[in-house]
């Protein structure tokens, strides 16, 4: 991985090269413009969402250019800032508290080995936290969002609609007679079907669509800036693919039913969408399953 370094201190540069150069790729930034181009606003450096980005920043430069001001108050800074100085005791700690810094180090008081260990620990802790977040917000079996993530996103999309009239559609999907799969073929087979279904949804939806597993065999999809007809066509592709894929398995055949709604002005709360889409899902079941009602 790459560690980005912003400092004008030649002594610090030499120490960083000696302690970290053999273990990480180092990218030295010699100007604030270059730093801001990489990390601020809509120009954030292109990295995987789960990749740890470590930036070693000279404390004096961080304060001088008020780097925190380039990010919104509630915005997550897209890197882990490590502030560098000669002596922590010489810094204004009240200002450090506002920097969202991950670590602050006096480079003239630690050895090269200690510097390396601190950075390695920082990266290790990042990935530990990432794993905890995955447990909290993602379904570990299907690798898509869980119910908590879905509810939070639906609330945010609904609030955005209320303020900006940005339309979206909501689908609730249930695998038909899924209990019989677990009863007759075992839970491992059931888990396989759930993972296959989630994969089919991901392959047929856009990256901007929000897919979640909200119950045992129940899924939800939020289609941002989408009309009913467009969302229906996507759901129909998913329904057909689920049916076709499981038909190829001689041991088990699974179909899906779905309800689909579009946000409207008469919805007062985001939970109203859930209530209405559930009614349509039940209707699809009552009409014989393996269909979509909107």
Distance (Å, rounded) from C-alpha 168 to C-alpha 157?
Answer: 8
Six token digits for residue 273: 């969408």
Could you please report the per-residue DSSP string of 85-133? ES-GGGS-HHHHTTTT-SEEEEGGGS-HHHHHHHHHHHHHHHHHHHHHH
Does the annotation count 217 as an active-site position? yes
Q: Which of 217, 243, 248, 250 is catalytic?
A: 217
Of the candidates 273, 271, 268, the one whose C-alpha atom is nearest the C-alpha of residue 162 is: 268
Q: Return the structure tokens found at 120.
A: 């390695």
35 contacts: CB under 8 Å, gap ≥ 6: 4, 6, 29, 55, 67
Residues annotated catalytic, as ranges: 217
């Amino acid at each position: 991985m790459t560690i980005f370094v912003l400092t004008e201190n030649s002594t610090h540069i030499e120490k960083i090269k000696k302690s970290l150069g053999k273990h990480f790729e180092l990218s030295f930034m010699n100007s604030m413009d270059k730093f801001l181009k990489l990390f601020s606003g809509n120009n954030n450096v292109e990295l995987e969402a789960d990749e740890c980005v470590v930036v070693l920043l000279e404390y004096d430069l961080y304060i001088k250019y008020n780097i925190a001001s380039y990010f919104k108050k509630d915005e997550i800074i897209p890197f882990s800032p490590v502030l560098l100085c000669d002596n922590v005791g010489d810094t204004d700690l009240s200002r450090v508290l506002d920097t969202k810094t991950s670590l602050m180090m006096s480079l003239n008081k630690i050895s090269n080995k200690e510097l390396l260990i601190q950075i390695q620990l920082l990266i290790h802790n990042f990935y530990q936290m990432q794993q905890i977040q995955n447990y909290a917000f993602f379904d570990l079996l299907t690798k898509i969002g869980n119910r908590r993530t879905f509810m939070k996103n639906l609330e945010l999309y609904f609030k955005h609609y209320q303020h900006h009239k940005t339309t979206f559609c909501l689908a609730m999907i249930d695998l038909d007679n899924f209990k019989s799969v677990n009863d007759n073929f075992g839970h491992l087979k059931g888990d396989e079907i759930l993972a296959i279904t989630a994969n089919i949804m991901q392959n047929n939806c856009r990256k901007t669509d929000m897919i979640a597993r909200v119950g045992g065999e129940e899924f939800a999809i939020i289609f941002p800036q989408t009309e009913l007809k467009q969302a229906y066509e996507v759901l129909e592709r998913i329904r057909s693919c689920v049916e076709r894929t499981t038909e190829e398995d001689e041991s088990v055949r699974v179909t899906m039913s779905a309800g689909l709604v579009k946000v409207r002005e008469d919805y007062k709360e985001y939970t109203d969408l859930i209530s209405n889409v559930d009614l349509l899902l039940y209707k699809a079941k009552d009409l014989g399953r393996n269909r979509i009602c909107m």
